[in-house]
Amino acid sequence: MTIKETLLYLGKAVLFGLIMAAMFLLVTHYFNNKNLGSSLLQNRGNNTVELSFAKAVRRAAPAVVNIYSLSIDQSRPLNSGSLQGLGSGVIMSKEGYILTNYHVIKKADEIVVALQDGRKFTSEVVGFDPETDLSVLKIEGDNLPTVPVNLDSPPQVGDVVLAIGNPYNLGQTITQGIISATGRNGLSSGYLDFLQTDAAINAGNSGGALIDTNGSLIGINTAAFQVGGEGGGHGINFAIPIKLAHSIMGKLIKNGRVIRGALGISGEPINPVVAQILNLPDLRGVLVTGVDPNGPAARAQLQPRDVIIKYDGEDVPGVEMLMDRIAETTPGKKIMMTVIRQGKQQQLPVIIDEKVVVDN
């Protein structure tokens, strides 16, 4: 066999191997995505196939309820209440627990929950948490629809999502968009916790469901971005990620409130200038900028310009992590902090207080 024939033989063998490998990858990809494809591609008349989210909506929509907050005139208590606000909620369990936004039911004298099958219930408030704008209601009913929940696969930027709610009391409405940005999950709260989406969230959508294309709940719709006195319409809307909302729900059902730890400090990240001035080895840690004179940090003799580098034995990479760990610490627990003060490390024991929640 000549060199040319040998190279030709080897070339054919390599080409055949590449073709078989490509076919194997295509088949694997097909079966891995078969369920997703079948849920999005719907057969229509005349043998046409169209992209559709109907199956996802059918899975989730029955569990998304309309919530009406009523106020009762105490001078005329026998009269029916007047509508104070409206919003949406999501039935999370067969026991009748409903997640919604706190601002939907805030200061309501009576809360009416309307299901998509026509049933109406008067609900009780199990608990609420102003910091995350979440509340849990409870209704008593049989055969209540519940929403599928996705706690294991966090949404990613670019994922297609659907918002379900009752905007302007028009009835249940579905809007579609993508995840524009994601944040962190933690008890310290703040806008960084939210999912950002361009799916329309209008007045009345608050407390409703943000679902993925499989119909699983990934967030609780909560707010539209506003500038000054303008309304929404900027395509910048926010939802509370379901992992955080589910955690808060469990705490509200157990205690009626969310118990957070408090240290009594304000802090900021370390930048290169601060690191040089304070003789720090790197940019990890949190610079203490303020200390509440009546808080645990003051009692532990923590001072402004101290840098917290460890909290309860765990390295502190930045402000968000530290605030989350403080919030998650059981009040009354004694923990050890490692701080750098004037270039030297010190160990400071501190007993965490309970954070006082201010209801605005």
Helix, strand, coil abundance in the chain, percent, nearest 5 = 25, 35, 40
**Cα 196 from Cα 216, distance rounded (Å):** 17
The verdict on whether 133 is a catalytic residue reads: yes
Long-range Cβ pairs for the range 73-80 (8 Å, 24+): none
Burial status of residue 199 (CB atoms within 10 A of its CB: 0-12, 13-18, 19 or more):
buried
The yes-or-no answer on residue 103 being catalytic is yes
| Residue of 133, 193, 306, 353 with catalytic role | 133
Give CA–CA dist 158/177, Å, rounded: 9
For residue 79, give both structure tokens. Answer: 């009269």
Q: Which of 206, 247, 306, 353 is catalytic?
A: 206
Is the sign of the CA dihedral 241, 242, 243, 247 positive or negative?
positive
3-state secondary structure of 176: strand
Rounded Cα distance, 53 and 44, in Å:
13
| Residue 206 among the catalytic residues | yes
For residue 13, give every residue at least 6 positions away whose Cβ sits within 8 Å of its Cβ, in sequence order, or none.
none
344's enclosing H/E stretch is strand 344-351
Contacts of residue 235, defined as CB under 8 A and 6 or more positions apart, other chains included, come to 177, 198
Distances (CA, A) of 327 to 173, 242, 354: 36, 19, 9
Active-site entry in 69, 88, 103, 247 = 103
Distance CA 88, CA 67 (A): 5
**Tokens standing for residue 286:** 């949190």
Rounded distance between C-alpha atoms, residue 31 and residue 44, angstroms? 23
- Residues with active-site annotation: 103, 133, 206
